[in-house]
Amino acid sequence: MNLISRGTSAVACAASLLLAAGPLTGAVGVEAAGGADIRLAGSGASFPAPFYKRLVAEYQQLHPNILIDYASIGSGGGIKNITDKTVDFAGSDAPMSKKELEAAGGSDNLIEIPSCAGGVVPTYNLPGVKGDIRFTGELLADIYMGKVTRWNDRAIASLNHGLSLPDTAITPVWRTDGSGTTFIFTNYLATQSEEFTSTIGMGKQVKWPLGQGGKGNEGVTAVVQKTPGALGYVEQGYADNNDLAYGYVQNRDGNMVKASPESVSMAGAGAVSQMSGAILAADIWNQPGSDAYPIASFTYLIVYRDLNNLESKQEAQALVDFLWWATHEGQKFAEELDYAPLAEPVQKKVEGALRMLTYKGERLNVGQ
């Protein structure tokens, strides 16, 4: 999409994207030599938005001729936008489903690559409680099903000896939008509770039986912050950036583990064997490993395999260059923001997928 060719309407579009995305949208770029800016637009998952914001800001320093917008609207919105070809790339915490792939022209028409990994944490608002609360997956499922309703319930107290838990009602907080974070959380809970699987189920959007909703990780964070007794699920970076307390979760090996780049990396260590081709999807929740954090996931970037939805080969090449940088040099910023960077074997899989990208059938320069 060329800013010069679209004139004032492009400026208006850029402004609307920025306003819609709020503070987690990254937009950088200045006029390039010859007077032609290159602008790239993406939208989707809020889970990795702080990382993407940092990537865009850092990329500006290296390539001031590139303007990149990323709207943090949720994974479902991102997949809809890439399917409709209203953006150049999409972010999703959930791999595209078979139905979504078919709607976008089939799996041979797309490339889906991990950009980093992260943990979804149980975050809570309990004034006066000192110390991190410990959870099991079964307990979290019971809370969201309405079977455990107060913070001093024996099911919580038995895991948290030494903590003085209040007789306060639990308000479960959940995402109202189509969300990859919900996809990760519900798929993990489904491994812990057959009743949860049969009553609430798994997906980007489910019907919660009680509690209060918020749009995006931002919305859930806001509800938890203002609601004493609230329990929500957000990406670890949102909890850290907003000074939210979050707890330990018992992993598959029976150990209580707190989310960190290291514990999330442990969860992703065995994922390479699941990855092949252009759609590099792998589930990493509830993985074995003494130090593996159990509610973990890759988050993905999605583009068309042939980038003919972009207006020029120059734009297509700029997008390829950004994707390569983001999954290689840009990984050094992941851990600073509490994400787990891609391991080298995963990067090799990503490289293979990126080398499949073309523009109107012509190969693009990848990794050069």
Please write the tens of the pLDDT for every residue from 210-226. Answer: 999 999 888 999 999 99
Instruction: Assess whether 321 and 254 both reside in one domain.
Output: no
For helices 180-192 and 137-145, angle between their N-to-C axes, nearest 10 degrees: 110
Residue 124 belongs to what H/E stretch? strand 110-124
With beta carbons less than 8 A apart as the criterion, state whether 360 and 306 touch.
yes
Radius of gyration over alpha carbons of the chain, in Å? 21
Whether pLDDT at 31 is above 90: no
Instruction: Encode pLDDT of 128-179 as tens digits.
Output: 998 999 999 999 999 999 999 999 999 999 999 999 999 999 999 999 998 8
Q: Which residues contact 343 (CB under 8 A, 6 or more apart)?
A: 265, 268, 269, 272
What share of the chain has pLDDT > 90, as a percent?
79
90 and 60 in one domain?
yes
Has residue 4 got a pLDDT over 50?
A: no
Whether residues 173 and 229 share a domain: the answer is yes
Q: 288, 267 in Cβ contact below 8 A?
A: no
C-alpha distances (whole Å) from 164 to each of 147, 319, 354, 364 are 21, 52, 52, 60
Over residues 84-106, the pLDDT tens digits come to: 999 999 999 989 999 999 999 99
Q: Using CA atoms, how far apart are residues 155 and 168, in angstroms rounded to an integer?
A: 14
CATH of the domain at 151: 3.40.190.10
49-62 vs 313-326: helix crossing angle, rounded to 10: 120
- The better pLDDT of the pair 21, 368 is held by 368
Residue 280 has pLDDT above 80, yes or no: yes
19 and 45 in a single domain? The answer is: yes
Q: What are the C-alpha distances in Å from 270 to residues 50, 186, 249, 283?
A: 26, 21, 20, 10
Give residue 167's domain range.
120-258
Q: Report the relative pairing of strands 110-124 and 89-92 from DSSP bridges.
A: unpaired
Interatomic CA distance for residues 148 and 171, integer angstroms: 11
Task: Answer yes or no: is pLDDT of 30 > 60.
Answer: no
Query: Which backbone phi and psi does 222 adopt, to 5 degrees?
Result: -65, -40
Indicate if 128 and 241 belong to the same structural domain: yes
Number of Cβ within 10 Å of residue 118's Cβ equals 33
Residue 247 and residue 280 in one domain: no
pLDDT at 354: 98
Half-sphere exposure of 64 (CA within 13 A, CB side): 6
Number of domains within the chain: 2
Instruction: Note the pTM of the prediction, 2 decimals.
Output: 0.81
Identify whether the C-beta of residue 306 lies closer than 8 Å to the C-beta of residue 85: no
